[in-house]
Structure 1
Amino acid sequence: MRRLITLFTAVILSIVSIAQDRITGHNFATRSEVIAQNGMAATSHPLATQVALDILKAGGSAVDAAIAANAVLGLMEPTGCGIGGDLFAILWDAKSQKLHGLNASGRSPKNMSLEYLKEKGYKKIPSYGPLPVTVPGAVDGWFELHSKFGKLPMDKILQPAIAYARGGFPVTELIAYYLERSGRILGQYPNFKETYMPNGKMPAKGKIFKNPDLANTYQKIAKGGRDAFYKGDIAKTIAKYIQEQGGFLTYDDIASHKSEWVNPVSANYRGYDVWELPPNGQGIAALQILNILEGFDIASMGFGSAEYLHHFIEAKKLAYEDRAHHYADMQVENVPLDRLISKDYAAERRELLNPNRAARSYEPGSMDTPSTIYLTVADKDGNMVSLIQSNYRGMGSGMTPWGLGFVLQDRGEGFNLEEGYLNTYAPGKRPFHTIIPGFITKNGKPYISFGVMGGGMQPQGHVQIVVNMIDFGMNLQEAGDAPRVQHIGSSEPTGEKMTDGGTVLLETGFDWEVIRALIGKGHKIQWDLGGFGGYQAIMWDEKNGVYYGASESRKDGQAAGW
């Protein structure tokens, strides 16, 4: 009997050990991917994911579900998005077997000039208040996507968000944390407290929060379409509010807004085509980094090694110098897009990378020949949408027009006020943008719709996901859960220069020997508990006819299918 007990105990301990190995045997914890046949949604909030699934089950397309989820997130995660902000999307259309790109970013006021900003002594456009406010493009983006790829009527798509806005929803711990931080900064601006701070406080974890003003705004959009936002009372209210605060945005600026359908651009990385949108966003920085890294045997270096991290950081520095000098609104400036993402140019830049030493600065390449939510949805017909939407700086400018229930973005801060740059401020121009959706195809067929939200982290995050999967053999969920690195301090499109090599931020999970080796190569290392983005992804498995979903453990994210 004792022998049987001993044997039973050994078996149990063996099982426990195996179970523990899956978590504690690695430098990071992970969980299983979600697998489903009929559709998949991955967003940064479980309730938004459930709304997306409900729309899919009701016969809606991937675009219908994405819009519904985005509207819910604008209510429940105003610290990252809202209809006062902009939107970008990459969509795989199963019918045409083609990728489509949408740039739904807004432009600067037509009557605010660079001369005015200089006369007032501004070295950069302020982060908050009326001056950084640009036209909000998200709602027009919804209707552009819906007109081409929607199936259900917009009133049905927006109904879940309207119901939650009127009836209320429980605030999550993470969002409560960011709301409290935002309130400290933005509470000074007119109508912010009235909208987001009932009883003078930001809602705490578990509190039921309602936003009846936003419900009314959504209701007007559902009934009147995009013109209800851009040519009706909403536009008039926005313009009047901004001008009362000393800003320049006008009704005409808002009424004349139009999104742009663009062709996504790609770089092939070891047989996989990675797709991004062209500037005014920063997506091609990810392609530039991948092109540089492709010339090295990354797989042999090993995940988390000092050698890999060093090569990644230096490739990022090289790409971001170009980002600072050559990325801008392509409707206004002549951006040398083809050269920036070419393999020949990557080879030139690669020669500058010292495998043993961190560079304090790089020059941009010669061009002779410039806070956020992410979600992805896939439907039973094979359509996949990669969508990212943001106010910038979390809750945006603080400008909260009376009776509308949302904050306006502060994307104008992304302009450079020095003359001679492609991203220099001009009236009616789209600023440099950080938010980027990603997509991967294999042999001309859809493979992965993905994104990593989070300012300047985004191209770095895209690259780390791709490398984790292709070079290091991780699955869709592991690739997102693996510890990340972020380099900060590169030259910025707003004019700041890198002169000291910047700083490397590391999540926990990297060995001390690796950190010591990076310091030995000249890198400045700093621990950071946040700022590494938020990841969502969906992968299509053509062989088995199923979708895989992955979500972000750093946020409230959920991937779910049916």
Structure 2
Amino acid sequence: MRDFELPGRSTVHAANGMAATSHPLATGVAVDILKAGGNAIDAAIAASATLAAVEPQSTGIGGDCFALLCLAGADRVLAFNGSGRSPRAATLDFFIEQGITAIALDSAHAATLPGAVDAWIALHRDHGRMEFARLMEPAIRYARDGYPVHARVRFDWLNAADLLRGNEEARRVFLPGDKTPEEGDMHRQPKLAETLAVIAREGRKGFYEGPIAEAMARTLRAHGGLHDVEDFAAVQGDYVEPVSTAYRGYEIHQVPPNNQGLTALIMLNILEGFDLAALEPMSSDRTHLEIEAGRLAFAARNATLSEQVAMGVRAEDLLSKEWAGRLRSKIVPDRAMTGIPDLGLGKSDTVYVSVVDRDLNAVSFINSIYHSFGCGILCPETGVMFQNRGASFRIDPDHPNRIGPSKRPLHTIMPGMATRNGRALMPYGVMGGDYQPFGHARFLTGIIDYGQDVQQALDAPRVFATGDMVEIEKSFPGPTIAGLIARGHALRLAPDPLGGGQAVMIDHERGILSGGSDPRKDGCALGF
């Protein structure tokens, strides 16, 4: 039980349905859909569309989507990869000939094709219950009539102001009067509302073909991009086989590469060899092991992960318990690793949605335009802000994640799903760009090793090893910080919150759903 004299929030419990998102308006939409007879897929899609309007720095229809589903409470996990590809003209030779050694975050070359709308429509077609147009109504209303800017949204918005000023259309829409809206100000995106209305009426074709696709391609080409209308028409997501690992009697599932989800599974495989439960949850002992496991897992990620067809190693080999044991042997309990290369890690913005309905359909749903406001290029006719996921590509002919035609880049956003004893247990996720595997590992070990409830596990202080430097949240107790320094870790206070997350746990025996939402974001969990 939490200390009710300290700031915080309680886990939310309900019996008929539960949704947790990073924004209260989106959570409200999801619960409304469930109450109106929609299922968890319907609710997740409606919430994600709403987030595209009310949390525009983190997500939008110019971005991507991944999903994990357990239907009717069973442990079979369906995975959907809704990440977009590079344009067909994006050859490695083009970038080398142009003298481009890295794709800039604010470049049109960073704008991979948007996969989210295709994913929403495909998942709804196969698993939804309510009419798709009904799911778009709240997002259309908020974009057209306005929504109040929330605190964390404004925090991120302020940090992206310079990017927005670099694009006249983005500046006009998102910096009215050349100012970032204040918390509580009403903000509108009328062109986005019009585009969402077309998607509601015409479905996938209305977005990926015709005037909207033509306008998006025209905008990107005007900024030097290689995109054309055929690239948009060719966007198609895929059902894929999840990657999974066993951790202390639980099965933990992720979307396979090009997704980075198996990085978290590698971390869990390493940590499984330590008796974490014997260590204090806030101790330097536990936190040191997490830091070192993360460094090893990220080094493997950076060297090997890309679109699966380009990888030189199989995912199952990376998830081998034997290989995890070899990695684990490199960890010294009382001393930090030395000679650690710069892992090139950073944080970015994402939205995550966790929903379970009365039939125990469990949905883990994540959408993003990557860094705040993506590449900062806004299509004036459609209101679409383009993602900058293509900045993850390497301009390196020897790297598996090299740029190439119609190729998916290494992708950071990673929904999670836990199952146990043949049943769905918990759709969960932790946002924050490269940080996410650290967040998943801390959240899951908090629940499994320390018996925390979902809200306690989300509240817990976090660390992020970006290389030889470790970012640490100021909520850690002093002795933990001193203990890490004594081991040789170079620490700095995290300049902003590390990630954000949501989860819904299913208690099959009691017939109860328990939801939590991260205090680092504006959101909440609600049920009925």
Q: Could you tell me how far 1:194 is from its partner in structure 2?
A: 2.6
Q: Given the alignment, which residue of 533, 541, 548 partners 2:499? A: 533
Letter in 2 for 1:337: A
**CA positional deviation for 1:410:** 0.6
State the 1:322 CA deviation.
0.6
Which ranges in structure 1 are unaligned for 5 or more consecutive residues? Answer: 1-17, 365-370, 490-501
Instruction: Between 188-197 and 168-177, report the one with greater CA deviation.
Output: 188-197
Alpha-carbon deviations, 1:21-54, whole Å to 9, x = none?
Answer: 4444xxxx53211111110110011111111111
Residue from 131, 143, 150 that aligns with 1:172: 150
Of 165, 175, 196 in structure 2, the residue corresponding to residue 197 of structure 1 is 175
Query: Residues 95, 444 of structure 1: CA spacing in aligned structure 2 closer, same or farther, 3 A cutoff?
Result: closer
User: Per-residue deviation at 1:349?
Assistant: 1.1
| Residue 346 of structure 2: aligned partner | none
**2:78 alignment partner, one of 97, 100, 110:** 100
- The alpha carbon displacement at 1:75 in A equals 0.5
Whether the 8 Å contact between 1:328 and 1:335 is mirrored in structure 2 is no
Q: Are 1:129 and 1:189, in contact at CA under 8 Å, matched by a contact in 2?
A: no
Report SS of the residue matched to 2:239. strand
State the match for 2:403 in structure 1: 425
- Normalising by structure 2, we get a TM-score of 0.96
Range 524-533 or range 248-257, more displaced:
524-533
Mapped contact 1:468–1:479 kept (Cα < 8 A)? yes
Partner of 1:486: 464
Paired position in structure 1 for 2:345: none
Cα distance in 1 between the residues matched to 2:101 and 2:489: 29
Matched position secondary structure for 1:375: strand
**Cα RMSD between the aligned structures?**
1.7
Q: 1:310 to 1:343 in 2, by over 3 A?
A: same
| SS class of match (1:388) | strand
- Determine if the alignment matches structure 1 residue 555 to structure 2 residue 521: yes
1:248-327 correspondence runs (5 A): 248-327=226-305
Q: Residue type of the partner of 1:256?
A: A
Could you say if the C-alpha distance between residues 23 and 473 of structure 1 is closer, same or farther in structure 2, counting changes exceeding 3 Å?
Answer: farther
In the alignment, what sits opposite 2:449?
Answer: 471
Identity of aligned residues (%): 41
Cα offset, 1:115, TM superposition: 2.0
* Equivalent-residue separation in structure 2 for 1:336 and 1:97 (angstroms): 24
Q: State the distance in 2 between where 1:283 and 1:460 align.
A: 11
What does 1:340-379 align with in structure 2 at a 5 Å threshold?
Answer: 340-361=318-339, 371-379=349-357
Paired with 2:382 and 2:182, the residues of 1 have a C-alpha distance of 22
CA contact (8 A) 2:85 2:407 kept: yes
> Are the counterparts in 2 of residues 326 and 336 from structure 1 also a CA contact under 8 Å?
no
Larger Rg: 1
C-alpha distance in structure 2 between counterparts of 1:22 and 1:68, whole Å = 34
Shift of 1:482: 1.0
Is contact 1:332–1:429 with CA below 8 Å preserved after alignment?
no
Note if contact 1:372-1:455 (Cα within 8 Å) is conserved in structure 2. Answer: yes
C-alpha displacement of 1:334: 4.5
What amino acid is aligned across from residue 419 of structure 1 in structure 2? P
1:206 aligns with 2:184: yes
* Deviation at residue 55 of structure 1 after TM alignment: 0.7
1:394 aligns with 2:360: no
Residue 63 of structure 2 corresponds to: 85
Which is further off, 44-53 or 301-310? 301-310
Describe the superposition over 1:108-156 as per-residue Cα deviations: whole angstroms up to 9, x where unpaired. Answer: 1111222222233222111112111110000001011101110111111
Counterpart of 1:337 in structure 2 is 315
Task: Summarize the Cα distance change of 1:235–1:412 in structure 2 as closer, same or farther, 3 Å threshold.
Answer: same
How far apart are the structure 2 equivalents of 1:316 and 1:241? 39
For residue 197 of structure 1, report the CA deviation from its aligned partner.
2.4
Structure 2 Cα separation of the partners of residues 97 and 268 of structure 1: 13
Structure 1 counterpart SS, 2:509: coil
One of 508, 512, 526 as aligned partner of 2:478: 512
> Quick check: 1:84–1:391 contact (8 Å CA) kept in 2?
yes
Q: What's the secondary structure of 2:88's corresponding residue?
A: coil
One-letter code aligned to 1:231: E
**Cα distance in 1 for residues equivalent to 2:497 and 2:388:** 19
By how many angstroms is 1:180 displaced? Answer: 2.6
Which stretch has the larger CA shift, 185-194 or 444-453?
Answer: 185-194
- The answer as to whether partners of 1:457 and 1:531 remain within 8 angstroms in 2 is no
Distance 2:261 2:208 in 1: 28
Alpha-carbon shift at residue 199 of structure 1 (Å): 2.7
Q: Does 1:52 align with 2:49?
A: no
Shift of 1:513: 2.4
Amino acid across the alignment from 1:418: D
Query: Counterpart of 2:216?
Result: 238
Partner residue in 1 for 2:129: 151
> Whole-Å Cα distance in 2 between the matches of residues 174 and 310 of structure 1?
29
Q: Of the candidates 453, 456, 470, which is equivalent to residue 434 of structure 2? A: 456
Looking at structure 2, the residues matched to 232 and 100 of structure 1 have their Cα atoms a distance apart, in angstroms, of 32
Aligned match of 1:10: none
Partner of 1:12: none
CA distance in 1, matches of 2:336, 2:97: 40
Structure 1 residue identity aligned to 2:198: K
Shift of 1:290: 0.5
Q: How far does residue 406 in structure 1 lie from its aligned partner after superposition?
A: 2.4
8 Å CA contact 2:92, 2:397 repeated in 1:
no
Task: Tell me, in whole angstroms, the C-alpha distance in 2 between the residues paired with 1:431 and 1:61.
Answer: 32
- The residue type paired with residue 286 of structure 2 is Y
Q: What CA distance in whole angstroms lies between the structure 1 residues aligned with 2:311 and 2:483? A: 42
Deviation at 1:158, TM superposition (A): 0.4
Match of 2:97 in 1: 119
Question: Secondary structure at the residue paired with 2:160?
Answer: helix
Counterpart Cα distance in 1 of 2:402 and 2:5: 48
1:78 to partner: Cα distance? 0.7
Distance verdict in 2 for CA 1:271–1:42, change over 3 Å: same
The 8 Å contact of residues 30 and 478 in structure 1, kept in 2 or not, is answered as no
Q: Counterparts of 1:94 and 1:473 in 2: how far apart (Å)?
A: 26
SS at match of 2:109: coil
- Give the match for residue 489 of structure 2: 523
Q: Deviations over 1:151-194 (max 9, x none)?
A: 11111110111111111111112212222322222221141123
Instruction: Find the aligned partners of 2:72 and 2:513 in 1 and give their Cα distance.
Output: 14
In structure 2, the residue corresponding to 1:143 is in which secondary structure? helix
**For residues 46 and 234 of structure 2, what CA distance do their matches in structure 1 show?**
25
- Letter paired with 1:516: A
Q: Which amino acid aligns with 1:510?
A: F
Identify the residue that residue 492 of structure 1 maps to in structure 2. Answer: none
What amino acid does structure 1 have at the position aligned with 2:501? Y
Structure 1 residue 542 corresponds to structure 2 residue 508: yes
